[in-house]
Amino acid sequence: MDGAFAQLSMLGSSVVLIAGFLLLWRRGLSAHIDAFTLQSVALGATTGLVAYFTADVELYWVAGLLIALKGIGIPLLLRRMARRFGTERELAPYVNTATSLLIGALLVLLAYIVMRPIVQLSHLPTRAGMPLAMGLVFVSLFVIVSRKKALTQVIGFLMLENGIALLAVLGTYGIPLIVELGVFLDVLMGFLVMQIFVYQIHETFESLDVEQLNRLRR
Amino acid sequence: MVAAYGAGAAGALLAGAGRAARVLSAAGAMVGAGAGLLLGLHALAGGAVWALGVPDVVSVAGGLLFRLDALGALFLVLVSMVAAPAALYGVGYSAAYEGRYSLRWLGAMLNLFLLATSLVPLADNVVTFLLTWEAMSVASYFLVLTERDRPETVGAANWYLGMTQVGLAFLLASFLGLGAESPALDFADLRGAAAGLSDAGRGVVFALALVGFGSKAGLIPLHVWLPRAHPAAPSHVSALLSGVMIKLGIYGLLRVGLDLLGGGPPWWGMLLIVLGAGSAVLGVLYALMEDDIKRLLAYSSVENMGIITLGVGAAFLFQSLAMPRAAALALAAALYHVLNHAAFKGLLFLGAGSVLHATGTRNMNRHGGLIHRMRWTGPCFLVGAVAIAGLPPLNGFFSEWLLFQALLPGIGVASPLIAVLMVLALGMLALTAGLAAAAFVKCFGITFLAIPRSDAAAAAHEAPVSMRAGMVALAVACAGLAAGALPVLATTGAVAAGLFGLATEPPAFRLWLAFQTPAGLARMSPPAIVVGLLGGLALVWLAVRAFASRRPLRWADTWGCGRVEQTPRMEYTATAYAEPLRRIFSAVYRPTEDVTVDHHPESRYFVQSIAYRASILPWFERYLYEPVLARVRRWGRRAQSVQSGSVHAYLAYVVVALVLLLGVLLATGAP
Amino acid sequence: MSGLGGYALALGQAGLCLALAPGLIGLIRWLKARMQNRRGAPVWQPYLELRKLFAKEVVVSTNTSWLFRLAPYVVFTSALAVTVLLPILAVPLPLDGVGDLLVVVYLLLLGTFFLALAGLDPGSPFGGMGSSREMTVAALAEPTIAMAMFALALGAGSTNLGQIVARALERPAEAVSPGYLLAFTALFIVTLAETGRLPVDNPATHLELTMIHEAMVLEYSGRYLALIEWAAALKLLIFFSLLANLFVPWGVTASPGAGALLLAALIYAAKLAVLAAVVAVFETRVAKLRLFRVPELLSVSFVLALLAITASFLSR
């Protein structure tokens, strides 16, 4: 039983990480939103998996919330924003695609090196997926730093949150429902604030290019 | 051996110009090489160690001491293997130098260079080593300077001399550090003394030796002399430089690092792996962008030295992690690649020299169609190109296969940093292999295939007999190293095992059709592959002849999409061939392009000429060497002010120095 | 499985691959045609084409040399040599000790090398362009193949093909492990790149619109073209066999009986058909990438392969 649990959780974590890499590879905004949707659903599925194997009812609720909020709700909002601001393609990022993919891979390797002592200490069967979650955190940070479009950066931030949630699920079999609800609320508020900002940026500059923000200096 | 080389040098000096001189010097070199080869093979096969001491010469530092052990014998065989064909080649090649440059000097220096190079692996104390090393460097400097009326040759030789002297300084410092404790400077004593050094001390000695030997071996970032010096030298000298001399950098590293110091902490191996992988990838990337055939080969040497260093680094690493069998395998793979590279790089340089001899230019964009006119050089160069691309059934493939297998155990190591490093190293090695294949398709294809791109290429003639013989000899050596992979590997394995204190490990290398690597990781049979491929080729050919149409071949023009005639302007050029890769790796190359269009004076609608200039950013020269050189120049100018020209100032210096010396003596209490 | 029976099996394998390869190409073409609402040529059309080509006259350009006439033989022989080494019907293979995965990869690279040279020989710009781009794609695909192979090899403890298959047969659960799946995806992308399928190259057109493989063989005709086309089909078959038998090895027997071998051959053909269907659907769905997007795709496959190694091995 444990073998299947470990393999399936690893599978789920891999899908979550690969969805993060899709953000580095594809340039279209709708592709980014699809990647985020995939990632959230995979995260929800992994949480449900952990819930099933640990017979933890609360986690089922968490999984459901994840899928409802991040798999359906937020992508809906994102698509509305995308429609309003036009389906603009991502501008050439600071680092070109092939190089950013390679840097992403190196970040995942770094995450392995960093998480090695923790993985060795843990006894849970899901421990093998923790470095992948950490890798997602690094990759999301890299996305936020290296992409020029505000919406992509927002999606990067959301993926960062996904990564941390995955780390919690794999490392400690999730966190209590109350805490999870609080985190969700925070994320939602943050997202709404960002939505306002994106709207303002677009109003001022007619584009979502974050580089334009330095025009505010003058 | 010494006598033969000496005779060759003397003969060259005495006979003067003319065919006799060339033949004499070449004959001397070949006999010397033969003697060296026999000596080396005898030592390898017999396993006996042969020692000779000449204490009277340079007695102040312990006299000259020679000792031939397994490692040294291997490198001696290496030197001799390439020296004989290169010397033979030189007979025909230096005919072009008659009357323009001094042939006596060339012959004498060649023999002296070969003598010194053969003696370096035999040196058994510091004095002998440094003496032979310096003799080798100086002789090669003069050889590089042969064509001295070309300005770029002089510049190249200056770079070369500068870097060898800097390397020598580092080597001196390293040996001094090693021998600081012990009074004598024999290698035997140094081995014992090294055990007494502190860890930091060993690290310093290793680092200094790495700089010194690494600059000779052409590791990044100390490689800048290679692409300048190797093209500037006469081709048989280039073959020797690339095939033999840079390998002695590896020899030195092995001797000091493994033999004298006895291996060290993991960071030594990791540093070597990083430098090796970096050299390999950067070397091949720069090789891809070159239009000058000899510079391409020089950068390819940098790449292969990187691969060898990767293997050596893995050996050091495994040894520090107490995995001696894996270490021996890695080192055996690296040594096998050393032999292979000497053979096929020597062959390629001789071939390039042949092309240069025939067309008068090294620029590949002026070559083309040479395979029709040079019926011997073409196939020989093809053999070299297939070998260096690491393709079966030739020798490059077997050593690369072995290197891959040797690196695989590293992924299972406990430390995650090392495992990740091994994974990345494997990836870079694979990338290098692919890019090298692309580079040599470009090199061979643009130079030899299709139609001539210039009149010189259209009028090319085949090389004279001696040159052809030299090339064929090395091609046969390549094939021999491939077909005879098992005995060669057994020998290098024995050498490597000896270095790691494993008594000969016959179970690790089964001596017939297949060999099995330790840890049961893989099996391959080189002879079966060679036989299978060649036999299969023959079978397929026969089958097609039997079953296909009997109609004769019809010759026609290349399909032209409706154009009227085909000119050389329509062919792909060397620059164009590598252009996709230049764009893909533009982050490394930072290419700059400049297009100037000259319009007709009457009207802007008519174009008279278009000039296109493309260049890539020379990272190391601009960001590493230029600042250092600028700083050195500045200090030199400041130091110049000491030489004021006034006699009183000089007298004052002497007095001050005397006073200081007396003060120091008083302070330390010496009588 | 040793001795004469073993060698007969190896030869039989090679023969089977030779026989199936053109059919595989025909199947993919037929499936694509059907999906595009056409009737399509019958599945055995490539066999007829090969027969026709062997009977035709050979026209050779005056600019070419003996290398041009040698290259088709080298390309074909190297592909054929690989089929002898693959685990197709049974393990352990008799020629197991001759070559392993690395040998397979480099034999294929040998074919590519000579094909690229042959593209340069006639001196036409098409050939040069195809040759240059083919070597670019091949060079960039090398690290991915190496990494995917090492992911498999590390799991099995050897790069030996028979051992990888045997190991996967022993432990079925590992076949769905993320490491294997990632390596499968990476190898699939590389298959598309190396065999000149969409989205890297379009095998259906024959001119400059097709950037890579077809441009190199433009000057070939008659039996040379037949050999090269057959070799290309073999290469596709080889990659499919690697994908099928290394990752989903059930069907490869361990017993040498005639019945077992026949069953193994049928299962093998079925696996090939499934892969052909997948590729056909994929090719119908995607558009060809611009040349300079191909390195991005290959980077993705490299990253997947790297993740495969780390997921399956580093996390132990």
State the maximum Cα–Cα separation within chain A, in Å, rounded to a whole number. 63
Query: Residue B612: phi, psi to the nearest 5?
Result: -120, 125
H/E stretch holding B516 reads strand B515-516
Give the start-to-end residue ranges of the domains of chain A.
2-217
Q: Which residues of A touch C (CB under 8 A)?
A: 3-4, 7, 10-11, 13-14, 17-18, 21, 25, 97-98, 101-102, 104-105, 108-109, 112, 119, 128, 131-132
B449 lies within 8 A of chain C by CB: yes
Query: Residue A123: phi, psi to the nearest 5?
Result: -115, 0
B123 has which bridge partners? B66
Query: Residue B521: phi, psi to the nearest 5?
Result: -75, -35
Percent of chain C with pLDDT over 70: 95
The pLDDT value given to residue B511: 37
Instruction: Return the closest-CA partner of residue B264 out of B326, B327, B333, B308.
Output: B327
Q: How far is CA A165 from CA A158, A183, C53, in A?
A: 11, 9, 62
Gap between the Cα atoms of C49 and C235, Å rounded? 18
- Residue written as token pair 């200039």: B613
Dihedral angle, C-alpha B425, B518, B262, B201, nearest 10 °? 30
DSSP B330-350: HHHHHHHHHHHHHHHHHHHHH
Residue at B11: amino acid letter: G
**Average pLDDT of the segment spanning C280-307:** 87
Q: Which two tokens stand for residue A114?
A: 């960093």
- Residue written as token pair 């590729």: C279
Mutate to test the interface with A, among C184, C189, C300, C306 (most CBs of A within 10 A): C300
Distance of CA B417 to the CA centre of its chain: 30
Gap between the Cα atoms of B189 and B198, Å rounded? 17
- Cβ(B365)–Cβ(B573) below 8 Å: yes
Nearest CA in chain C to B557: C61
Judged by average pLDDT, the poorest of B128-132, C27-31, C254-258 is C254-258
Q: Which residues of B123-150 are buried (b: 16+ CB within 10 A; e: fewer)?
A: bbbbbbbbbbbbbbbbbbbbbbbbbeee
CB atoms B420 and A112 under 8 Å: yes
Judged by average pLDDT, the poorest of B279-288, B605-614, C249-258, C291-300 is C249-258
**Average pLDDT of the segment spanning C19-45:** 92
**Average pLDDT of the segment spanning A190-207:** 77
B65 has which bridge partners? B53
Instruction: Return the closest-CA partner of residue B257 out of B244, B243, B267.
Output: B267
Gap between the Cα atoms of B24 and B13, Å rounded? 10
User: Which residues of chain A have a CB within 8 Å of the CB of B423?
Assistant: 109
Q: Which residues of A98-114 are buried (b: 16+ CB within 10 A; e: fewer)?
A: bbbbbbbbbbbbbbbbe
DSSP B241-265: IIIIIHHHHHHHHIIIIIIIS----
User: Which residues of chain C have a CB within 8 Å of the CB of B460?
Assistant: none
- Cβ(A37)–Cβ(A10) below 8 Å: no
User: Which residues of chain B have a CB within 8 Å of the CB of C123?
Assistant: 368-369, 449-451, 558, 566, 568, 570-571
**Is B613 strand, coil or helix?**
strand
Identify the domain containing residue C118 by its residue range.
3-314
The pLDDT value given to residue A40: 93
User: Which residues of chain C have a CB within 8 Å of the CB of A10?
Assistant: 177-178, 311
Residue C99: CB atoms within 10 A of its CB come to 30
Gap between the Cα atoms of A70 and A73, Å rounded? 6
Instruction: Return the closest-CA partner of residue B132 out of B276, B5, B223.
Output: B5
Dihedral angle, C-alpha B247, B250, B252, B257, nearest 10 °? -170
Structure confidence by residue, pLDDT tens digits, C137-154: 999 999 999 888 888 888
**Average pLDDT of the segment spanning C51-65:** 89
**Is B508 strand, coil or helix?**
helix
Distance from CA of B398 to the nearest CA of A (A): 30
Q: Which residue from B400, B431, B450 is facing C120, i.e. has the nearest CB?
A: B450
Query: Residue B514: phi, psi to the nearest 5?
Result: -130, 160
Gap between the Cα atoms of C102 and C91, Å rounded? 18
Block means of pLDDT (10 residues each) for chain B, 671 residues, are 59 58 73 76 67 58 70 85 86 77 76 84 82 89 83 86 89 80 66 73 85 88 88 89 90 83 80 93 91 93 94 89 80 90 92 90 87 88 92 88 84 80 91 94 91 84 82 84 76 74 48 48 73 87 82 81 77 86 84 85 84 82 84 86 75 87 80 55
Give the start-to-end residue ranges of the domains of chain B.
274-505, 584-640, 647-671
The region that residue B501 occupies, defined by phi over 0 for left and psi between -120 and 50 for alpha, beta otherwise, is left
Gap between the Cα atoms of B664 and B643, Å rounded? 25
User: Which residues of chain A have a CB within 8 Å of the CB of B416?
Assistant: 112-113, 116
DSSP letter for C90, please: B
User: Which residues of chain B have a CB within 8 Å of the CB of C289?
Assistant: none
- The band of C230, judged by pLDDT with boundaries at 50, 70 and 90, is very high
Q: Which residue from A3, A105, A128 is facing C303, i.e. has the nearest CB?
A: A105
Using CB atoms, list chains with 3+ pairs below 8 Å to chain A: B, C
A103 lies within 8 A of chain B by CB: no
The gap between the terminal CA atoms of chain B, to the nearest Å, is: 50
pTM, full prediction: 0.89
Q: How many residues does chain C have?
A: 316
Mutate to test the interface with B, among A101, A102, A109 (most CBs of B within 10 A): A109
DSSP alpha helix (H) spans, B415-525:
416-448, 455-458, 465-483, 485-499
DSSP alpha helix (H) spans, B94-186:
103-119, 126-144, 151-178
Q: How far is CA C170 from CA C89, C177, C179, C268, in A?
A: 17, 14, 17, 19
- The band of A137, judged by pLDDT with boundaries at 50, 70 and 90, is very high
Q: Which two tokens stand for residue B383?
A: 């053999």
CB atoms A21 and C296 under 8 Å: no
Mutate to test the interface with A, among C181, C292, C304, C315 (most CBs of A within 10 A): C315
Q: Which residue from B416, B424, B587 is facing A112, i.e. has the nearest CB?
A: B416
Percent of chain A with pLDDT over 70: 89
Distance from CA of A203 to the nearest CA of C (A): 33
Looking at chain B from residue 230 to 249, which residues have their Cβ under 8 Å from any Cβ of chain C? none
**Is B66 strand, coil or helix?**
strand
User: Which residues of chain C have a CB within 8 Å of the CB of A16?
Assistant: none
Q: Which residue from C176, C299, C310 is facing A108, i.e. has the nearest CB?
A: C310
Q: Which residue from C78, C125, C143 is facing B427, i.e. has the nearest CB?
A: C143
Give the total number of structural domains in chain C.
1
The gap between the terminal CA atoms of chain A, to the nearest Å, is: 63
Gap between the Cα atoms of B270 and B276, Å rounded? 10
Distance from CA of A109 to the nearest CA of B (A): 7
User: Which residues of chain C have a CB within 8 Å of the CB of B444?
Assistant: 117
Based on its alpha-carbon atoms, the radius of gyration of chain A, rounded to whole angstroms, reads 18
User: Which residues of chain A have a CB within 8 Å of the CB of C178?
Assistant: 7, 10-11, 13-14
Mutate to test the interface with C, among B426, B442, B584 (most CBs of C within 10 A): B584
CB atoms C146 and B430 under 8 Å: yes
The pLDDT value given to residue A35: 92
CB contacts < 8 A (A, B): 12
CB atoms A21 and C303 under 8 Å: yes
DSSP letter for A9, please: H
Gap between the Cα atoms of C95 and C265, Å rounded? 19
Nearest CA in chain C to B446: C120
Dihedral angle, C-alpha B517, B518, B521, B526, nearest 10 °? 0
Q: Which residues of C touch A (CB under 8 A)?
A: 173, 176-178, 181-182, 295-296, 299-300, 302-304, 306-307, 310-311, 314-315
User: Which residues of chain C have a CB within 8 Å of the CB of B555?
Assistant: 59-62
Q: Which two tokens stand for residue C184?
A: 């499968």
Instruction: Return the closest-CA partner of residue C62 out of B563, B416, B67, B372.
Output: B372
User: Which residues of chain A have a CB within 8 Å of the CB of B417?
Assistant: 113
Gap between the Cα atoms of A121 and B345, Å rounded? 51
- Residue written as token pair 């440059």: B101
Gap between the Cα atoms of C205 and C228, Å rounded? 16
DSSP letter for C208, please: T
- Cβ(A142)–Cβ(A107) below 8 Å: yes
Most confident of A12-16, A79-83, B517-521, C91-95: A12-16
Q: Which residue from C178, C306, C314 is facing A14, i.e. has the nearest CB?
A: C178
- Residue written as token pair 């007969």: C8
Q: Which two tokens stand for residue B601?
A: 């004076």
- ipTM over 0.85? The verdict is yes
The pLDDT value given to residue B305: 94
